[in-house]
A and B are shown apart, each in its own frame.
Chain A
C-alpha cells in the first residue's frame, strides 16, 4: 500500500469522529482497515509491516471464534474495543503508594514483592519510582555487551527490520487461529529478543521485565530468536495481581531455536480473575508456540497460571530438528468462578525428538478447568518419545477438572506414555497435618505445594518461592 493511501485511511479515521479534545492518541472503539493503518502509522512501521497486518485482518474476517474449548463466556463484541491507546500519562497515575488500593498492597506484602517494585506494579508514575530507571540501564548495558538484542517489538520493527521480517509469523502464521489473526492485525506491544550465535544470555530476562510489565498491553506480540548454540531464559508476567481495564487479552508468543539452541520460557500469570462471581475478570486467549528448528535444539515452557476469569492457552513445541527436545511444565490453579482450558501440543516432526509434559491442575471453589494436550508424531519422526503426566487436585465438591489427551501417532517406532490422576485433596491428608497442630489453611498450602513440586522446581529460583506464595494467596479461604 502506498503511503499516500495510508495517510488517507488515517485521516478518514479522523473525519469519522475522532475526538481530538479527549486524548489525541486514542482511537475510538471499532476495527477496520483504517484502524490498523492508524496503529501502524503511530508505530512508525515500514510498509511491509502494514501489509502483513492487513493480510492478517482479512483472514480474521473469514474466521470464527473457536467453540471447542471447555469454556463458557458471552460473545465478545470486537467493535466495542479500542485498539490503540497511548500509555497513560504520568499525571493520570497514582503519584505514590498512598493513592493505591490498600488491598492490592496487602497482597504484594504477602507475596514478598520488593518494596521498590511494588510501586511500579501498582502503576505509580515512573519518575516517582526510585531506582527502577537506573536498574534498567545497568541491565541494558550488560545485554548490549553480550550482543543480545532485547527491546520492544515496535522498536525491533524499526531498528532490526530484517530479523523481524525473517522470523515474525514464521512460527505462528497470521491465520493460525482466530485470536492469533486478531493479534497479528492489531498488536501494539510486546518484546523482541535475539541471542546471537554461541551466546549464552548473561542474565535471566526476568527482573527487568517484571518492572516493565506493569504496562503490558492487550494484544502483545513476543518474538524470541535463539541462534545456533545460544541460550536464553525468559520470564513473562509476574506474581503480583494485575488489574487491567481491558477485558480481552490475546497475546502471541513465538520462539525460534536454531541448532543446539536452548530457550526456557517461564510464565507466571496472575491477571485479575474477577469478583467472586467472575465479573470484571480478564479473558486471556493466548497463542504460544516454539519452533525447535535446528537439530538438538530445546524449548521448555514452564507456566504457573493462577489468574484471569478465562484462560485459553496451549504453549506448544514444533520439534522439527533432529533430536530436538520440547518440555511443558504447568500448574494451573482456579478458584471462585474461574475457567481454564489449557495444555500443550507437542508436534514430533524430526527423528529422535523427545517431549515431556507435566501438568498439574488444582481446582477449588466453583471453578472449572481442563487439560487439553496433543501429542502428534509424524511419519519421519523415527524413535520419537513422549511422556505425559497430568494430575488434577480438587478442593471441595463444587469444582471440576477434565483431561482431554489427544494422540496422533504416525510412526510405529514412537514411544508415547500417558499417566493421569484425579484426586480430591485428601481429608486424610488434612487430618494428618492438623492432628500435628498445623492449621487447616497451612495444611492445604503444604499439600498443594507438594502436589506442584515437579513443576515449581523448573522455575527460576526466585520465582519458585514467589509462585508458592502466590498459590497460597490464590487458595485463601478455599477450604472451610
Chain B
C-alpha cells in the first residue's frame, strides 16, 4: 500500500531523512520508534504533504501512485489521514462543520452525493459515544480550549468518521493520562481491519501495550536501522536505543 524508497529529505538546508525505506501492507500496524530528532515526525509530514520539506531524492508510492506529485488534499482524498501531535486551534469554526466538510469532500471526490444531515448526525453521534465524548464537542470550535486528551480523542474521532486507508498517528500518546490513553487506543484498535494500514510514530512502548503492532521500526539519524516484531519494542523499552546504534554501526 505504502512504499517509501530511499527517501532523502532536507528541512531548511539540513538533511533529516537520509535514505529511508519502508513498506506498509494493508491490514498491518507499524510502529516507528526512535530517539528525538531522528526524523520520525518528518516522515509522516512528508507523506501528508506539509510545506517546508524538500525531497532531494527517493520516492513515495501510495497504491502505486506517486504521492510526492499530489496536493495535500489529494493525498487525504486518496485515503491518507494524519493524526497530529499538536492539533491546531481554528477559532470560530465548529468541530462538526469541519467534520462534515471533510467527509463531504471525500464523498464528492468519489462522485457521491453529499451526506444527508440526519445520516451524518447518526454517524457522528455513534463515534462520539464510542470515544466517550460529549455531544457539546461538536459545537465547540476546532480544538479551541481543548485539553491535551480532548485534542487527541478528537483526532481519533475524525479517523473514525473519515475511515482512511492509511492512518498515520504522530505521537498520539503524548500528553495522555491512563484513562484517555485507553479510550484513544480502543479507538485506534477499532480502526484495524484487513484493508487498512496504521502507521504510528511513538517514543514509548506504553502505547504499544494497548495497540499491538505487527512491525516495529527503529529510526535513527534519518534511516531505519532495525525492524522487528512487537518484541523489539519491549527490548527497546528495557535497553534503550544505544545498543541499536552500536549494532548498526558495527
Chain A interface (Cβ < 8 Å from any Cβ of B) = 426-429, 431-440, 442, 446-447, 449-454
Which of A433, A435, A438, A446 lies at the interface centre, i.e. has the most chain B CB atoms within 10 A of its CB? A435
Do the beta carbons of A450 and B76 come within 8 Å of each other? no
B93 on the interface (CB 8 Å rule)? yes
B98 on the interface (CB 8 Å rule)? yes
B176 on the interface (CB 8 Å rule)? no
- The residue that A450 contacts in the complex, of B49, B141, B158, with Cβ under 8 A, is B141
Do the beta carbons of B73 and A428 come within 8 Å of each other? no
19 contacts between A and B (CB under 8 A): A429-B90, A431-B48, A431-B51, A433-B90, A434-B49, A434-B71, A434-B72, A434-B76, A435-B73, A435-B81, A436-B101, A438-B105, A440-B73, A446-B97, A446-B98, A446-B101, A450-B92, A450-B93, A452-B92
- The interface residues of chain B lying within 8 Å CB-to-CB of A452 are 92
Docked CA distance A440–B84 (Å): 18
Do the beta carbons of B76 and A437 come within 8 Å of each other? yes
The residue on B at minimum CB distance from A451 is: B92
Do the beta carbons of A437 and B109 come within 8 Å of each other? yes
Given contacts A446-B97, A449-B92, A450-B141, A435 and B105 within 8 Å (CB-CB): no
- The interface residues of chain A lying within 8 Å CB-to-CB of B72 are 431, 434-435, 440
Docked CA distance A63–B69 (Å): 62
Docked CA distance A454–B93 (Å): 11
Do the beta carbons of A429 and B88 come within 8 Å of each other? yes
Chain B interface (Cβ < 8 Å from any Cβ of A) = 48-51, 71-73, 75-77, 81-82, 84, 87-88, 90-93, 97-98, 101-102, 105-106, 109, 141-142, 158, 162
Given contacts A427-B51, A431-B72, A450-B141, A436 and B102 within 8 Å (CB-CB): yes
Given contacts A427-B51, A450-B93, A436 and B141 within 8 Å (CB-CB): no
- The interface residues of chain A lying within 8 Å CB-to-CB of B49 are 434-435
A-B contact sample (20 more), CB < 8 A, given A435-B81, A436-B76, A437-B162: A426-B88, A428-B88, A429-B88, A431-B51, A432-B88, A432-B142, A433-B90, A433-B102, A434-B49, A434-B72, A434-B73, A435-B50, A437-B102, A438-B105, A446-B90, A446-B97, A446-B98, A446-B101, A447-B90, A449-B92
Do the beta carbons of B50 and A431 come within 8 Å of each other? yes
The residue on A at minimum CB distance from B73 is: A434
Do the beta carbons of B51 and A438 come within 8 Å of each other? no
Do the beta carbons of B92 and A437 come within 8 Å of each other? no
Do the beta carbons of B93 and A447 come within 8 Å of each other? yes
The residue on B at minimum CB distance from A452 is: B92
Docked CA distance A428–B92 (Å): 16
- The interface residues of chain A lying within 8 Å CB-to-CB of B75 are 435
- The interface residues of chain A lying within 8 Å CB-to-CB of B98 are 433, 436, 438, 446
Do the beta carbons of A449 and B76 come within 8 Å of each other? no
The residue on B at minimum CB distance from A457 is: B92
Docked CA distance A458–B74 (Å): 37
Do the beta carbons of B91 and A450 come within 8 Å of each other? yes
Closest CB-CB distance, A475 to chain B, in whole Å?
15
- The interface residues of chain B lying within 8 Å CB-to-CB of A447 are 90, 93
Do the beta carbons of A449 and B73 come within 8 Å of each other? no
- The interface residues of chain A lying within 8 Å CB-to-CB of B82 are 435
The residue on A at minimum CB distance from B143 is: A432
Closest CB-CB distance, B47 to chain A, in whole Å?
10
- The interface residues of chain A lying within 8 Å CB-to-CB of B87 are 432
Given contacts A434-B72, A434-B73, A453 and B92 within 8 Å (CB-CB): yes
The residue on B at minimum CB distance from A427 is: B51
- The interface residues of chain A lying within 8 Å CB-to-CB of B162 are 436-437
The residue on B at minimum CB distance from A437 is: B76
Closest CB-CB distance, B46 to chain A, in whole Å?
12
- The interface residues of chain A lying within 8 Å CB-to-CB of B88 are 426, 428-429, 432
Docked CA distance A442–B98 (Å): 11
Do the beta carbons of B105 and A437 come within 8 Å of each other? yes
- The interface residues of chain B lying within 8 Å CB-to-CB of A446 are 90, 93, 97-98, 101
Docked CA distance A236–B109 (Å): 40
Do the beta carbons of B81 and A436 come within 8 Å of each other? yes
- The interface residues of chain B lying within 8 Å CB-to-CB of A426 are 88
Closest CB-CB distance, B90 to chain A, in whole Å?
5
- The interface residues of chain B lying within 8 Å CB-to-CB of A449 are 92-93
- The interface residues of chain B lying within 8 Å CB-to-CB of A436 are 76, 81, 98, 101-102, 105, 158, 162
Docked CA distance A59–B147 (Å): 61
The residue on A at minimum CB distance from B82 is: A435
Closest CB-CB distance, A433 to chain B, in whole Å?
7
Closest 8 CB pairs of A and B: A450-B92, A450-B93, A437-B76, A453-B92, A436-B102, A434-B72, A437-B105, A428-B88
Docked CA distance A450–B96 (Å): 13
Docked CA distance A440–B101 (Å): 12
